[in-house]
A = this chain, B = another copy of it.
Amino acid sequence: MNTQASCELCVQAGGEVVCRQDAFRVVLVDDPGYPGFCRVIWNAHVREMTDLPLSERELLMQAVWKVESAIRAVMAPAKMNIASLGNMVPHLHWHLIPRFDDDAHFPGPIWAQVQRPGTPDGLAKRQALLPELKNALIRQFSS
């Protein structure tokens, strides 16, 4: 498998690994403002989606939809945000971020200016759903 010693997603997990498959892994991102933020990280060092053959692209996107399904079922976000950016780490990974109208940046992207402090109640409620989210993710990838 193509890996690069200088790439942090080649040498580190990139979060708490919830599911690991041959081609990709699903991690929970440790972001105190965004409990439930997940990443689907392609294991090989590939830069862009269109660098993958179509079958692998579809496999990766199916994983993205499984993660979206698990997050929606457990957390019922106001909106899902999905993004593949990778300007700093050009190794294919998809961000899946459940958004809520009381989160710190809503309705802006999480990379934009902070709109408000995240409400502690909302954050605590979402943090408490993480065990259920992990189970839902594991179920998605075991079927």
Contact = CB atoms under 8 A, between A and B. Distances in A.
A45 interface: no
Interface residues of A, number: 33
Interface stretch (A5-13, A30-38, A73-81, A124-132): A73-81
B87 A99 contact: yes
How many copies of this chain sit in the oligomeric assembly? 2
Contact of A65 (B49, B64, B81, B85): B49
Interface of A: 47-50, 54, 57-58, 61, 64-65, 68-69, 72, 78-88, 90, 99, 106-109, 111-113
27 contacts: A47-B79, A48-B72, A48-B80, A49-B64, A49-B68, A49-B82, A50-B65, A50-B68, A50-B80, A61-B61, A78-B87, A79-B85, A81-B84, A81-B87, A82-B83, A82-B85, A83-B83, A83-B84, A83-B85, A83-B109, A87-B106, A87-B107, A88-B107, A108-B111, A111-B111, A112-B112, A113-B113
